Structure 1
Amino acid sequence: MSAASASGSEPVAIIAGNGRLPFYVAEAARQAGTPPFIIQLRSERSHDWTDFDHMEADIGAFRPVVTALQKRGIRKVVLSGGVTTRPDLFGLRPTARVFLSLPSILKKLKSGGDDKVLRMVIDLFERHGFEIIAAQAIAGDLLATTGVLGTVAPDREAIGDIRAAAEAARTIGAMDIGQGAVSLGGRVVALEGAEGTDQMLERVRTMRESGRISRKHRGALVKLCKPQQDLRADLPSIGPETVRAASAAGLGGIAVEAGRALVLDRAETIAEADRAGLFLYGLEPDEIAAPAS
């Protein structure tokens, strides 16, 4: 599904998970003349929202969130940032409108992958007349661009690793497992699961140090949207921390989809990659073909 756009004159709410992305989206909305209302997920708190109209809410506390949005006349909502926890039965506070859907909701929370859970959350908001808009509709300058982003370009071996890792990432994405994969010397050595990208890269670092994988070949990390992914939420993202983790794992670089991935702290991320001698590359959407050498 394509990303919905935002009007600069309409109020917007940001459901803030962890990480820096919610802050960037909030600043972009404020600079566009529409100070956002922030709903900080209590278990994912990672920023001080004192300067914004805000509230905290537990995961699954849907009823008070709907009430707060309706009170402020807000119809547009952005889902932004990571979520590491899921609500249990005792944490759910549904509205009357979704109460009858609880069995289905609980089943998805228990056994569904991230994509299914996000689709469920989007559906719940839409049932109440809200419109989910994409983070990139407000902060479009975060989107990765095509080609080499820094001063280091992927060489022939890296191109092979990008191809292999991209194919693996698409495969696990279609299974709603993760968005990233690492290939080294043309061999896929790590797949991203529920633990996330940084933890996957830590596994690669440990395997390299123990001799489980080659120290001769550098390898590449590729992060792609899941084939079935709703582009209004959970786009793949990288930032300075990703670059540092990739460098610590001995990788040669990172590739993401241009226009379908976010680069946070762009200047710092590129500078960090240049210092480490890593390439950053924006692949054409829906394309596994190698970039030009």
Structure 2
Amino acid sequence: MKPDGRSQRNEARLAIIAGRGRLPLDIARAARDQGDDPFIIGLVGEANDIPPEFEQVSVGLGDAARIHALLKEKKIDRVVMSGGVNRRPELLELRGPLRLVRFLPAILRALSSGGDDKLLRMVITIIEAAGCRVVGAQEVVPGLLAEYGAITQRKPGANDVKNITAACAAANALGALDVGQGAVAVGGRIVALEGAEGTDGMLARVAEMRANGRISATRKGVLVKLCKPQQDLRADLPSIGPDTVRNADVAGLSGIAVDAGRAFVLERETVIEEADRRGLFVVGIDRENPATLSTDSST
């Protein structure tokens, strides 16, 4: 046993490349509980304040050379990429060891014309070139994954299922283009697709359209978030949290549907509390058969 009471840690360590949000910290704590000694690499300008309970360092977004050196120095064998990233690195920010020169053409293509999924796949390739295995956050914190069915008091009604089905088809098509993961449907019609502004920005647009009369003030809608069909499940799984619920409510939506087994529900208890207080539903769906959801006949 270690002096702090925890069992002997694994000799090889887990690194967490951290962007925005709570997920990196949740992963670090779960990994520690399982006997790992996680090392956090926070991306400058993206990572939230990480408490001093974890060994950590801040690294520029494009500094692959520094990341490679850290992975070797800290004896890292597994890497989790987690949290949001608001921007892409500029070409002048790129720093890489000589052994990564062979990847430069692909990196430039991913930065100039690729979507997020193509760029993330390139990042995974670069990390694996350092001799590390990239693992999905769900391997460390499987309890954060959305389950099938509603987790809230309210369940989708028949009209909600129609909106879910429409938004699911749109999110699938959008994801296939490697653009975004979310769509909003109101009255069975797609009113917003997620772009570079992210989910919160899309919901702000929906709220603005309602305020301007572009969307009916009385018809509710649904937000759907799905994995992209071609997405590498080791990075960038869709996620929702309490802010998503609040913003969906401001946008006049009746609920949120996410990819069961392939999306995270962060701060689950708070999400449920916020949704129940606001009368919204949160539900995990089968992306292939969204219309098979059981419905609440009273709504």
SS of structure 2 residue aligned to 1:100? helix
- State the partner residue of 1:102: 104
CA contact (8 A) 2:246 2:274 kept: yes
Give the Cα separation in 2 of the matches to 1:43 and 1:113.
Answer: 21
Q: Tell me which amino acid in the other structure corresponds to 2:187.
A: G
Deviation of 1:285 (Å): 4.9
> Of residues 32, 36, 39 in structure 2, which corresponds to 1:37?
39
> Of residues 131, 152, 163 in structure 2, which corresponds to 1:129?
131
- State the partner residue of 2:52: 50
Give the Cα separation in 2 of the matches to 1:8 and 1:245.
Answer: 41
CA RMSD, aligned part only?
1.4
Q: How many residues align?
A: 287
Residue 261 (structure 2) pairs with residue 259 (structure 1): yes
Give the Cα separation in 1 of the matches to 2:264 and 2:106.
Answer: 32
Deviation of 1:35 (Å): 2.2
Residue 183 (structure 2) pairs with residue 181 (structure 1): yes
- State the partner residue of 2:242: 240
Deviation of 1:289 (Å): 2.9
Give the Cα separation in 1 of the matches to 2:284 and 2:37.
Answer: 31
Deviation of 1:128 (Å): 2.3
- State the partner residue of 2:80: 78
Residue 26 (structure 2) pairs with residue 24 (structure 1): yes
- TM-score, normalisation: structure 2: 0.93
Q: Tell me which amino acid in the other structure corresponds to 1:228.
A: Q
Residue 286 (structure 2) pairs with residue 284 (structure 1): yes
- State the partner residue of 1:166: 168
Give the Cα separation in 2 of the matches to 1:187 and 1:8.
Answer: 52
Q: Tell me which amino acid in the other structure corresponds to 1:143.
A: L
CA contact (8 A) 1:260 1:285 kept: no
Give the Cα separation in 2 of the matches to 1:111 and 1:203.
Answer: 25
- State the partner residue of 2:3: none
SS of structure 2 residue aligned to 1:231? coil
Deviations 1:232-273 (A, max 9, x none): 110010000000000000100000011100000000001100
Residues 289, 60 of structure 1: CA spacing in aligned structure 2 closer, same or farther, 3 A cutoff?
same
Give the Cα separation in 2 of the matches to 1:274 and 1:35.
Answer: 37
Q: Tell me which amino acid in the other structure corresponds to 2:245.
A: V
Give the Cα separation in 2 of the matches to 1:93 and 1:104.
Answer: 15
CA contact (8 A) 1:207 1:213 kept: yes
Listed as ranges, the gaps of 5+ residues in structure 1 are: 1-6
Deviations 1:47-99 (A, max 9, x none): 23422111110011111111111112111000000111211222111111111
Give the Cα separation in 2 of the matches to 1:8 and 1:270.
Answer: 35
CA contact (8 A) 1:259 1:285 kept: no
SS of structure 1 residue aligned to 2:179? coil
- TM-score, normalisation: structure 1: 0.95
SS of structure 1 residue aligned to 2:87? coil
- State the partner residue of 2:140: 138
CA contact (8 A) 1:8 1:32 kept: no
- State the partner residue of 1:12: 14
Deviations 1:21-48 (A, max 9, x none): 1111111111112120000001203123
Q: Percent identity?
A: 51
Deviations 1:190-219 (A, max 9, x none): 000011000000000000111101112111
Give the Cα separation in 2 of the matches to 1:96 and 1:287.
Answer: 48
Deviation of 1:127 (Å): 2.0
Give the Cα separation in 2 of the matches to 1:21 and 1:181.
Answer: 22
Give the Cα separation in 1 of the matches to 2:285 and 2:28.
Answer: 27
- State the partner residue of 2:155: 153
Deviation of 1:9 (Å): 6.9
